[in-house]
């Protein structure tokens, strides 16, 4: 059976995927709930595959010993990867235990199946009836969250729980030089290993107070190691770099236009600080984490502490929204190190807000230069270079654990500069760096900075935010040079019908040719995420006064078959709104020593009053499903920048699109 | 010992008077619906209603609410029936990760109690001190307006 889903081949036993409890079919998946609604979408697929109504299903959170290893929950791949596996599991179960009605006796027959059944050696039943897939089923996790019930990791209160806090160094590269041997604080125990210092105690109030006391009572050696935040493009272009050749069909013969674009460092800025929980008991280390990849986290912890993998178990518990590799894994490792000092007691360790905003991995600043030939309204060649730090430093990257506290231990575990996912997986620095347009010969090259004091890793869309912003801004600049309407110009260079369809539909739904008031502009951005994911076009309507006000976004996406239409719309709305925040407001601030944007006033994000109206249109399709979560990020940025140009006739090439950057662009234009 | 009323029930708590109310609610009383987001009163995830005034529990010392009535998100649903704002958020799936929702429900419920005719701009303004990172703002505003129309 060569067409078996990869995740079934990797996890071939029935019991890894399915169990029965309380008369319900418990479905175990390796994908994790990040606030994106994935457990609901996968429950819908599982219900249909097993031939039961949705309420007969209970989803079980990912667990390294009790569930399948499905890798990371990232890259908008969950439905694509986990969906086929669940369909196969369901088809095998129906073949062995069917018919699926009445449900009660079917569930009893499923309960009697051998959990060691090899899913790869049973002929599956035929395709099941589609009952739940395609419906906007309500999210299974939302009632707990909306009614204020315990649901998040920080809400867990196991027997004997201790609270923990870690004192992070004041700046990257800082070393602890002085802490009195006899340091004491009320109700806590000190845990120290090199520059890793923390406290554990019975009461949260005590550990919070002790942390502040510890901050006052420590002396650190710091150095000025950070770049000039006002000159990041020049700094990014300074070597050494690792060169990523994406495509090389030769440079354009004659260059008609050249432009450079940039964005600053950005933050995940999740509403909850990261939390971890761990207990060392009976020779096994048990960890609770909101990591995107619990198996990789288990391996990294085992590697860092020289434990056998089998002696570490990691279980997923939800936290606030996760948009990439944030501090979840680091917080889990903090809890592990603190809990090691109090064997048998679970320790829950929560980061502070300033630490979350300064010590979590950043999303790299980036800059790109693009040149093209243009003859009679046709692009005749394209050269694109992009400079960036790497976009992945996940646990296990470059063969290292990649866990923050490791770098602070007395015997430190090295933490090299971030790398990128491989090109076939979409790359990182060069994600969406190749235009989908017919542009003649192309040369596209990434330049990944090999040394940096600032830690960076994967955040929603990775390099695609800057690359699509650059390419789609440049398409408008070329269209203007050619004297052609930007939508027409794009369509003239698109051969992919699904691409042309989303562009045309977005322009149509947004009233592309309708007149606009003065100081209001309209712009379009388009991309096919990772070149193999969703097609997405966004039209932005922007009013420019004392700042950039995004009034409305029209988002059109082709996601293939949509499992949960409202869930997909919610992801696209949220993605477009978050990308608006990145594009018009956000910038990590630092001086030459410390990251200074350490609270919500110094790292402001989009407020309720600033949030645009978002209209989402999903293209009807029965093609295979592709993910929605990251598709809108790049097109939204480009659409807003193009709309700002529409309103002001000023081309702003450096993000964020604040009053300050617009003034600089006006000065440069004059 | 400090006495106060939480969700209609009198309670006596042992925490020091300078302990943040949020820590008392979550750690001593086991009411974890008020979420810890920043500890600086800047995100709204821990908003509670103290005798009609919405305040961040993380920045409110216990001593300041002695003898007063605190309503948390848990106290807004009655006998298992969600508050209209909660029901509207569920009906419209107006959340993604939901971590910000407790504080938003508390703030929006207070707004509708004071201004039953609040419009979209007023709702957005009232939620100015609540942050949402998933980008559900417009859905949430729509849900609050739907709750307004229900009541």
Residue of A nearest to B78 (CA): A147
pLDDT of residue A181: 87
Is B6 touching A (CB cutoff 8 A)?
A: no
A297-352 pLDDT, tens digit each: 999 999 999 999 999 999 999 999 999 999 999 999 999 999 999 999 999 999 99
Whether A608 sits inside 8 A of B124 (CB atoms) is yes
The mean pLDDT of A270-299, rounded to a whole number, is: 98
User: Would the pLDDT of A1 be above 80?
Assistant: no
Q: Which of A32, A137, A139, A145 to mutate to test the interface with B (most CBs of B within 10 A)?
A: A145
The mean pLDDT of A348-364, rounded to a whole number, is: 98
Counting beta carbons within 10 angstroms of the beta carbon of residue A486, is it exposed (0 to 12), middle (13 to 18) or buried (19 or more)?
buried
User: Would the pLDDT of A2 be above 70?
Assistant: no
Instruction: State how far residue A324 is from chain B, nearest Cα, in angstroms.
Output: 12
Whether B15 sits inside 8 A of A205 (CB atoms) is yes
Please list every residue in chain B whose beta carbon sits closer than 8 Å to the beta carbon of residue A136: 93
Q: What is the percent of chain A where pLDDT is above 70?
A: 100
Whether A605 sits inside 8 A of B133 (CB atoms) is yes
Which segments within A355-410 are labelled E, that is strand? 366-375, 378-388
pLDDT of residue A3: 83
C-beta separation of B108 from B147 below 8 A = yes
Q: What are the φ/ψ torsions at residue A383 (nearest 5 degrees)? A: -125, 135
User: Would the pLDDT of A541 be above 80?
Assistant: yes
- ipTM of model: 0.98
Stretches in chain B below the pLDDT threshold 70: none
A57-110 pLDDT, tens digit each: 999 999 999 999 999 999 888 999 999 999 999 999 999 998 999 999 999 999
C-beta separation of A558 from A534 below 8 A = yes
Please list every residue in chain B whose beta carbon sits closer than 8 Å to the beta carbon of residue A149: 33
Residue A142 is nearest to which of B98, B102, B138, comparing CB atoms?
B98
Mean pLDDT of chain A: 96
**β B9-13/B2-6 pair status:** antiparallel
Domains, chain A, in order of start with CATH, read: 6-137 (3.30.365.10), 153-222+269-359 (3.30.365.10), 366-391+427-669 (3.30.365.10)
Length of chain B: 151
pLDDT of residue B80: 83
Mean pLDDT of chain B: 97
Residue B97 is nearest to which of A35, A600, A606, comparing CB atoms?
A35
Residue A393 CA to residue A503 CA, distance in Å, equals: 35
Q: Which of residues 571-610 of A touch B (CB under 8 A)?
A: 571, 573-578, 580-581, 599-601, 605-609
Q: How many CB atoms lie within 10 A of CB A240?
A: 10
* A537: enclosing H helix or E strand: strand A535-544
The mean pLDDT of A641-650, rounded to a whole number, is: 97
Q: How many CB atoms lie within 10 A of CB A668?
A: 12
Q: Which of residues 35-74 of B touch A (CB under 8 A)?
A: 35-40, 42-43, 45, 72-74
A389-417 pLDDT, tens digit each: 999 999 999 999 999 999 999 999 989 99
- H helices within A553-658, ranges in order? 565-584, 633-648
C-beta separation of B104 from B132 below 8 A = yes
- pLDDT confidence of A226, banded at 50, 70, 90? very high
3-state secondary structure A408-461: HCCCCCCCCCCECCCHHHCCCCCCCCCCCCCCCCEEEEEEEECCCCCCECCECC
Residue A272 is nearest to which of B26, B37, B135, comparing CB atoms?
B37
Is A137 touching B (CB cutoff 8 A)?
A: no
C-beta separation of B134 from A178 below 8 A = no
CATH for B84-150, options being 1.10.3720.10, 1.20.1560.10, 1.10.1740.10, 1.10.150.120: 1.10.150.120
Residues of chain B with CATH 1.10.150.120: 84-150
pLDDT of residue A149: 96
User: Would the pLDDT of A587 be above 70?
Assistant: yes
Residue A271 is nearest to which of B43, B89, B123, comparing CB atoms?
B43
Q: Architecture of B2-75 per CATH? A: Roll (3.10)
Residue A146 is nearest to which of B19, B101, B141, comparing CB atoms?
B101
Residue A626 CA to residue A96 CA, distance in Å, equals: 30
Residues of chain B with CATH 3.10.20.30: 2-75
Residue A154 is nearest to which of B36, B77, B127, comparing CB atoms?
B36
Q: What is the percent of chain A where pLDDT is above 90?
A: 96
Residue A181 CA to residue A538 CA, distance in Å, equals: 59
DSSP state of A404: G
Instruction: State how far residue A604 is from chain B, nearest Cα, in angstroms.
Output: 10
- Angle between the A38-50 and A78-97 helix axes, to the nearest 10 degrees? 30
Please list every residue in chain A whose beta carbon sits closer than 8 Å to the beta carbon of residue B100: 271, 320
User: Would the pLDDT of A669 be above 90?
Assistant: no
């Amino acid at each position: 059976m060569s067409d078996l889903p990869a995740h079934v081949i990797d996890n071939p036993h029935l019991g890894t995927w399915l169990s029965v409890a309380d008369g319900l079919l418990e479905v175990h998946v390796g994908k994790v709930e990040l606030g994106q609604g994935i457990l609901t979408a996968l429950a819908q697929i599982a219900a249909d595959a097993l031939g039961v109504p949705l309420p007969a299903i209970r989803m079980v959170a990912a667990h390294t010993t009790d569930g399948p290893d499905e890798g990371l929950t990232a890259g908008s791949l969950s439905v694509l990867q986990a969906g086929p596996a669940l369909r196969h599991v369901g088809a095998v179960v129906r073949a062995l235990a069917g018919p699926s009605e009445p449900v009660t006796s079917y569930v009893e027959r499923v309960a009697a199946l051998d959990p060691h059944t090899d899913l790869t050696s049973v002929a599956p039943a035929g395709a099941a009836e589609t009952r739940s897939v395609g419906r906007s089923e309500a999210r299974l996790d939302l009632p707990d969250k909306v009614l204020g019930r315990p649901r998040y990791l920080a809400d867990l209160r196991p027997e004997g729980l201790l609270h923990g806090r870690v004192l992070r160094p004041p700046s990257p590269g800082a070393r602890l030089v002085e802490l009195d041997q006899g340091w004491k604080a009320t109700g806590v125990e000190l845990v120290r290993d090199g520059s890793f210092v923390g406290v554990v105690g019975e009461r949260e109030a005590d550990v919070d107070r002790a942390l502040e006391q510890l901050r006052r009572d420590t002396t650190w050696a710091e150095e000025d190691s950070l770049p000039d935040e006002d000159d990041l493009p020049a700094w990014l272009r300074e070597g050494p770099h690792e060169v990523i050749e994406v495509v090389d069909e030769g440079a354009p013969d004659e260059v008609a236009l050249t432009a450079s674009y940039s964005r600053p460092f950005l933050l995940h800025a999740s509403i909850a600080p990261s939390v971890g929980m761990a207990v060392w008991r009976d020779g096994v280390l048990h960890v609770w984490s909101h990591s995107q990849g619990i198996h990789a986290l288990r391996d990294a912890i085992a590697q860092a502490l020289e434990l056998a993998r089998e002696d570490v178990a990691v279980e997923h518990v939800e936290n606030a929204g996760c948009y990439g590799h944030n501090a979840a894994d680091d917080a889990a490792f903090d809890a592990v190190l603190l809990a090691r000092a109090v064997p048998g007691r679970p320790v829950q360790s929560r980061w502070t807000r300033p630490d979350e905003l300064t010590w979590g991995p950043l999303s790299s600043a980036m800059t790109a230069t693009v040149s093209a030939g243009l003859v009679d309204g046709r692009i005749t060649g394209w050269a694109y270079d992009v400079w960036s730090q790497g976009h992945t430093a996940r646990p296990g990257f470059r063969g290292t654990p990649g866990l923050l506290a490791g770098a602070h231990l007395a015997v430190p575990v090295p933490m090299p500069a971030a790398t990128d996912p491989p090109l076939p997986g979409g790359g990182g620095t060069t994600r969406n760096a190749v235009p989908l347009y017919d542009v003649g010969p192309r040369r596209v090259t990434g330049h990944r900075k090999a040394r940096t004091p600032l830690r960076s890793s994967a955040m929603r869309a990775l390099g695609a935010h800057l690359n699509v912003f650059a390419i789609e801004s440049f398409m408008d600049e070329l269209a203007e040079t050619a004297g052609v309407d930007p939508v027409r110009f794009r369509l003239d260079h698109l051969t992919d019908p699904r691409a042309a369809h989303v562009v045309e539909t977005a322009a149509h739904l947004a009233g592309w040719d309708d007149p606009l008031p003065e100081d209001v502009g309209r712009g379009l951005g388009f991309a096919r995420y990772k070149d193999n994911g969703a097609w997405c076009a966004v039209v932005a309507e922007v009013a420019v006064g004392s700042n950039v006000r995004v009034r409305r976004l029209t988002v059109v996406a082709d996601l293939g078959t949509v499992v949960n239409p409202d869930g997909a719309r919610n992801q696209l709305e949220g993605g477009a709104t978050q990308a608006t925040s990145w594009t018009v407001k956000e910038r990590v601030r630092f001086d030459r020593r410390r990251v200074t944007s350490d609270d919500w006033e110094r790292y402001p994000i989009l407020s309720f009053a600033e949030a645009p109206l978002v209209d989402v249109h999903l293209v009807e399709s029965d093609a295979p499903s592709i993910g929605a979560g990251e598709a809108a990020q790049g097109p939204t940025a480009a659409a807003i920048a193009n709309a700002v140009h529409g309103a002001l006739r000023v081309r702003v090439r450096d993000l964020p699109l604040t009053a300050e950057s617009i003034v600089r662009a006006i000065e440069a234009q004059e | 010992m400090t006495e106060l009323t939480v969700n209609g029930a009198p309670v006596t708590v042992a925490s020091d008077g300078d302990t943040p109310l949020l820590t008392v609610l979550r750690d001593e009383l086991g009411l974890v619906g008020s979420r810890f987001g920043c500890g600086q009163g800047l995100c709204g995830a821990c908003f509670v209603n103290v005798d009609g005034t919405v305040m961040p529990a993380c920045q409110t010392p216990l001593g300041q609410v002695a003898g007063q009535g605190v309503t948390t998100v848990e106290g807004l649903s009655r006998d298992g029936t969600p508050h209209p704002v909660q029901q509207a958020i569920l009906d419209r799936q107006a959340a993604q990760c939901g971590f910000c929702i407790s504080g938003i429900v508390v703030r929006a419920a207070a707004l509708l109690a004071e201004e039953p005719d609040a419009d979209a701009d007023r709702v957005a303004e009232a939620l100015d001190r609540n942050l949402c990172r998933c980008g559900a703002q417009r859905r949430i505003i729509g849900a609050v307006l739907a709750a307004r129309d229900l009541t």
